[in-house]
A and B are shown apart, each in its own frame.
Chain A
Amino acid sequence: MRPLPELTAENTAFWTGGARGQLMIAFCDHCQNAIHPPQVICPACQSRHVGPRAVEGSGTIYTYTVNHQPWMPGMVVPFAIAVVDVDGARGVRVTAPVTGCEADAVKIGQRVRIAFEPSGEVWLPLWMPLERTAA
């Protein structure tokens, strides 16, 4: 079984936002800095006024890999894992498996939209390709 993230004050909004279909990113209320992985202190201005906000849930693939090795029994391969620049959250990348296309069809620059699958109380993110590809 794949381990799930330990839920903390910092990360609970991110890992449970999927229940409402929302990608939740931490933002600083003082300087509007987007913070990922989420923290309760803004590293840019040291403000403690930091909280989660829902972003659009779209993004652009910065890089990816196609995993071919079954690392544990029952693991279905191959699958792609994409590192995605998230729209509306400058400097934030969200990394997740790609679903909805063949693993070898994944490309850098591809536009994607977030989806979620529940596992216990956690909602794990997935990226789904959109038609349009960024330049």
Chain B
Amino acid sequence: MKAAITGTGMSDIGRNTGRPAILHLADAADRALARAGLTLADIDGICTYPGKADNSPGMSPLGTGEVRNALGLQTRWHAAVPDGPAQMAPIMAAAMAVMTGQARHVLCFRALTESSSQSAGRRASIPGAGRAEIGGWLSWLVPVGAMSASNWAGWMATRYFHEFGMTREHLGLVALAERQFAQMNPAAVMQKPLTMDDYLAARMISTPLGLFDCDIPIDGAAVVIVSAGDAAKDCRLPPLRIEALGSALRSQETWDQRADLTTMGAHDAAADLWARTAFKPADVDVLGLYDGFSIFVPLWLEALGFCGHGEAKDFIAEGNIAHGGRFPVNTGGGQMSGGRLHGFGLLHETCLQLWGHAGARQVADAKTALCAMGGGFIAGAMLINRD
């Protein structure tokens, strides 16, 4: 019996909230448990990405230890997953934990205080900043001036534009679609309208990516409860069955050496996901696609087979991913208008859609959702479905 998602919750995310991360986390946990019809006493597992880390300001203020202590959890299984498919890794690990009997209900979480931390320290989201030396894959980027993920995503976008004739306007349509959704979601941080003129006039960050091609640092937390297949029957809402997972990676862990930089690890993970299920892209009602930068959305669409290689610009221009489109993407406003919860916000939103809890932006009778997280060599994809 497959693992299932039985509850999700998000704190009141915002910019410069000044609230301790653990209060955001506790709010998100309360809301997820209420949705699931569970209590803290039912939680016997906990998992997160990446664990407590200070490599970038406010990037991960809480590990499993802080959360176990604050919530008074007694667990049979706990882990943090810093490697692997990043944001998706704790969900995947939890699914495997419940299927091997390590736990019945696993609280998976992601908490960030990047907004407060960056404002307080006047520091941008730069890995390794302030350190004298840097190791690992970052050592091939930061010392040569590629300090920001916007630079790394910029390389992919430049090459993609060159090969396939995509323009800034195509990426602008992604940003505009997300802003339109955000205006239908009271929880999203950006509520003002965004026009193509606004998008094109915004300052450049790293060509061809401008300000509105980037996601927004926030303070907040999200919790996703992954339960054993049989345990899910006892919960309040229809369990969202984890139909298939994919996290294959067939290139090395770098941002610049992959032979074709118009593809990502996403392409390997997506192929593996579809190899594990009878479902097809046409069965999908709603999507959550990682949008740390706008260019990741077309790359994920192609990776997942919603259109062919090089065709995403037309697929987007035809309105497929926007409100009312055939394959609505990031209906909560995504990370570019909703705020960066590192994929957990996107997963929360796709679950709300499958439970019919998405308010004004509800996709009618949504039963099957695809959620994909990561960019560059980091990629994990998940297909969830309800009866």
| Given A66-B207, A81-B151, A124-B144, CB of A108 within 8 Å of CB of B158 | yes
> Which of A5, A79, A83, A91 sits near B135, CB closer than 8 Å?
A5
Q: Is the CB of A81 within 8 A of B145?
A: yes
| Given A63-B261, A65-B158, A108-B162, CB of A3 within 8 Å of CB of B206 | no
CA distance A11 to B146 in the complex (A): 18
* CB of A97 closer than 8 Å to a CB of B: yes
- Mark out the residues of chain A between 118 and 133 whose CB falls within 8 Å of any chain B CB in the assembled complex: 122, 124-125
Q: Is the CB of A71 within 8 A of B159?
A: no
* CB of A53 closer than 8 Å to a CB of B: no
CB distance from B207 to the nearest CB of A (A): 4
Most chain A CB within 10 A, of B129, B139, B159, B259, is at B139
- A37 nearest in chain B by CB position: B140
CA distance A95 to B126 in the complex (A): 18
* CB of B203 closer than 8 Å to a CB of A: yes
Q: Is the CB of A3 within 8 A of B134?
A: yes
> Which of A8, A43, A69, A95 sits near B256, CB closer than 8 Å?
A95
Q: Is the CB of A72 within 8 A of B155?
A: no
CB distance from A89 to the nearest CB of B (A): 11
CA distance A51 to B157 in the complex (A): 34
- Mark out the residues of chain B between 97 and 136 whose CB falls within 8 Å of any chain A CB in the assembled complex: 123-124, 126, 128-129, 131-135
> Which of B128, B154, B159, B204 sits near A3, CB closer than 8 Å?
B128
CA distance A78 to B154 in the complex (A): 14
* CB of B141 closer than 8 Å to a CB of A: yes
Q: Is the CB of B254 within 8 A of A37?
A: yes
Contacts of A37 in B (CB 8 A): 137, 140, 254, 257
* CB of B156 closer than 8 Å to a CB of A: yes
Q: Is the CB of B206 within 8 A of A65?
A: yes
* CB of B205 closer than 8 Å to a CB of A: yes
> Which of B129, B141, B143, B259 sits near A72, CB closer than 8 Å?
B129
* CB of A113 closer than 8 Å to a CB of B: no
- Mark out the residues of chain A between 1 and 22 whose CB falls within 8 Å of any chain B CB in the assembled complex: 1-6, 8, 11
Q: Is the CB of A71 within 8 A of B124?
A: yes
Q: Is the CB of A72 within 8 A of B124?
A: yes
Q: Is the CB of A4 within 8 A of B143?
A: yes
Q: Is the CB of B162 within 8 A of A6?
A: no
Contacts of B144 in A (CB 8 A): 81, 95-97, 124-125
> Which of B134, B256, B261 sits near A6, CB closer than 8 Å?
B134
CA distance A11 to B133 in the complex (A): 13
CA distance A64 to B154 in the complex (A): 7
CA distance A79 to B207 in the complex (A): 10
* CB of B142 closer than 8 Å to a CB of A: yes
* CB of A47 closer than 8 Å to a CB of B: no
Contacts of A5 in B (CB 8 A): 133-135, 139-140, 143
Q: Is the CB of A93 within 8 A of B256?
A: yes
| Given A4-B143, A8-B135, A97-B145, CB of A63 within 8 Å of CB of B162 | yes
Q: Is the CB of A122 within 8 A of B143?
A: yes
**Apart from A3-B142, A36-B257, A92-B257, what are 6 other A-B pairs with CB-CB below 8 Å?**
A11-B139, A37-B137, A68-B207, A69-B124, A72-B123, A91-B257
Give B contacts to A, CB under 8 Å.
123-124, 126, 128-129, 131-135, 137, 139-148, 150-151, 154-159, 162, 203-209, 252, 254, 256-257, 259, 261
Give A contacts to B, CB under 8 Å.
1-6, 8, 11, 36-37, 43, 62-69, 71-72, 78-79, 81, 83, 91-93, 95-97, 108, 122, 124-125
5 contacts between A and B (CB under 8 A): A4-B132, A37-B257, A65-B150, A108-B158, A108-B159
